[in-house]
Amino acid sequence: NIYGAQASDGDNWPEDGTRCLDLLNELLPALQYYAYIEIAPTEKHLWMSYQPILAAHGDVFAMQRITGPADIYPVLKDLFRKQRA
């Protein structure tokens, strides 16, 4: 049972998004679940880069954004809620 999580401000060079996407595609088959949390008021490069992963692997990959301190607990609670069998 391997779970992963990443929190980022989403700011990166556009070409880095391709590298991150490739790495996630390699990792996801070995993971039970992976959560990406972007801490930014609007969608950044990394958020956009991860959209194809969400579309293809939404059963094991989730993304949410935190725009302010009030979002932290609700976002974490939702991303890591207990899944029904």
What does each of the 85 residues of the chain score in pLDDT, given as a tens digit?
A: 899 999 999 888 877 888 888 999 999 999 999 999 999 999 898 999 899 999 999 999 999 999 999 999 999 999 988 775 5
Give the separation between CA 22 and CA 81, rounded to whole angstroms: 27
Retrieve residue 84's tokens.
């029904």
Q: Rg of the chain's alpha carbons, rounded to an integer?
A: 13
DSSP-based three-state secondary structure for 5: strand
pLDDT at site 54: 94
The DSSP bridge partners found for residue 39 are: 66
Pairwise CA distance, residues 60 & 77, whole Å: 16
Residue 56 has which token pair? Answer: 């293809």
